[in-house]
Amino acid sequence: MRIKKLTNGFTLIELLVVISIIALLVSILMPALNKAKQQAYISVCTSNEKQILTAWIMYADANEDNLVNPFTNAIVANWNPTNDKDHWVGSPINDNGNSFDSYSASTEEEKIRGIKVGAL
């Protein structure tokens, strides 16, 4: 009586060779993926800068060629939160419509509300 040997599976050596080839290919592709990610980040930044510049020019066109005040509430020493329309970014505003003195103590939603009341 002969025992039949099964040969349908992979050996451990074959499996390790395949895993090492995949790891080698991934290590070759990672620098290319990082470069693509960096290029995408640069494109997003460039687009954001263009949008801000366009808003700045549109503001000047609509306001007799006057530029918006470039200061934000973090820079101005004597900050008056009721005068947000003079600044291109307003201070954060809570649900009641009140401004915050501290930028870091506000939520993202409150910061977005402050940006919307700014000049741009």
Angle at Cα 62 formed by Cα 94 and Cα 115, nearest 5°?
Answer: 20
Least confident of 12-16, 23-27, 37-41, 65-69: 65-69
Buried b (16+ CB within 10 A) or exposed e, 13-49: eeeeeeeeeeeeeeeeeeeeeeeeeeeeeeeeeeeee
Q: pTM for the complete prediction?
A: 0.48
Q: In one letter, which amino acid is 14?
A: E
Nearest-angstrom CA–CA distance, 110 and 92 = 5
Provide the CB-side half-sphere exposure for 20 (13 A, CA).
Answer: 6
Mean pLDDT of all residues in 9-16: 87
What pLDDT score was predicted for residue 68?
72
Contact at 8 Å (CB) between 95 and 113?
no
- With a pLDDT cut of 90, the percent of the chain lying above it is 28
What pLDDT score was predicted for residue 44?
95
User: Three-state SS for 68?
Assistant: coil
What pLDDT score was predicted for residue 57?
86
pLDDT digits (tens, 9 = 90+) for 57-115: 888 888 888 777 665 544 444 445 555 555 666 777 777 777 766 666 678 888 787 77
Least confident of 35-39, 42-46, 110-114: 110-114
Nearest-angstrom CA–CA distance, 58 and 66 = 10
